[in-house]
Amino acid sequence: MPKTLAEVENVSTTNHRDIIEAPVLSNVAPTRKDRKGIMPNTLVDVESVSKSYQRNGLRIPVLENINLSVPEGEFLALMGPSGSGKSTLLNLIAGIDRPDAGNIIVANDDVTKLSESQMADWRAHHIGFIFQFYNLIPVLTAYENVELPLLLTKLSKRDRDEHVKTALSVVGLSDRMKHYPKQLSGGQQQRVAIARAIVADPTLIVADEPTGDLDKNSAVEILTLLERLNEEFNKTIIMVTHDQRAADKAHTIRHLDKGELQ
């Protein structure tokens, strides 16, 4: 039987409803069909979504009538030129922004119907963010940066410690948990950011140009880690990238151009 991440770390897990109802990560290997040949459930369903912004009194359309379905266990890459709407679509799916029209259903929740406070709580439970520039807090150690999302929960200090150490172990930084961001390489900082993204076992990982600020070797390490999260721990990942080599790691590649999904 495959091990859970908690078993890998030989730590107990919590059933606390406010954060996790299962091990930190479970590693049921994803496939397009399960062992009985049944297609996986749809995790993300974008329905007729449009988005525009106002600038100097003018309406600037960014996305027009976008439809997209993402099954559980998928690794999807969104590609397209700058200004094509890739990051806007990612932000809409992650509940950071709201569409002008259409619906976005993630994990059976229509995020377009949530209030601001409901949206914040929903993101904390369902979304793991990975950014191009890491977004680590310089005055906090790697451990403290990874712990941040858990401080908003009712987990005990002991449970938080187990979750953080497990996440840092998965990204290969157990020996760097007391280091500050300036003491880490770019690749190591991005791994800390990934540990922060997975520490609460999110339903969906969204990654916006996760290798865009890295050298070639570090980029390969990060992409290998994302592959592992997808293949070994069954994490659903949506990644925005300009890099064809990064996109080639995904199961599926979709292109956005002039606000239209191809």
In a domain, 66, yes or no: no
DSSP strand pairing (101-106 vs 42-55):
antiparallel
257 class by beta-carbon count within 10 Å (0-12 exposed, 13-18 middle, 19+ buried): middle
Q: 3-state class of 56 per DSSP?
A: coil
Residue with the two structure tokens 């109802």 = 21
State the alpha helices, DSSP H only, in the chain. 5-9, 86-93, 116-126, 142-147, 157-170, 186-198, 216-231, 244-247
143 within some domain: yes
pLDDT above 90 as % of the chain: 74
* Spatial CA neighbour of 204 closest among 72, 13, 58, 25: 72
Q: Residue 153: its pLDDT value, please?
A: 84
pLDDT, the chain, mean: 86
In a domain, residue 213? The reply is yes
Least confident of 7-21, 67-81, 187-201: 7-21
Is residue 234 pLDDT above 80, yes or no?
A: yes
**Structural domain total, the chain:** 1
Provide the residue range defining the domain that includes 135.
5-42+74-84+126-261
Using one digit for the tens of pLDDT, what is the confidence trace for 209-225?
A: 999 989 999 999 999 99
109-160 pLDDT, tens per residue?
999 999 999 999 999 899 999 998 999 999 999 999 999 999 988 889 999 9
Q: Is residue 14 part of a domain?
A: yes
In-domain check, residue 64: no
pLDDT at position 152: 83
Confidence class for position 183, pLDDT limits 50, 70, 90: very high
Residue 61 located in a structural domain: no
70 pLDDT higher than 60 = yes
- Residue 55 scores a pLDDT above 60: yes
- Domain of residue 254, CATH code: 3.40.50.300
Percentage of the chain modeled with pLDDT above 70: 85
Whether 248 maps to a domain, the answer reads yes
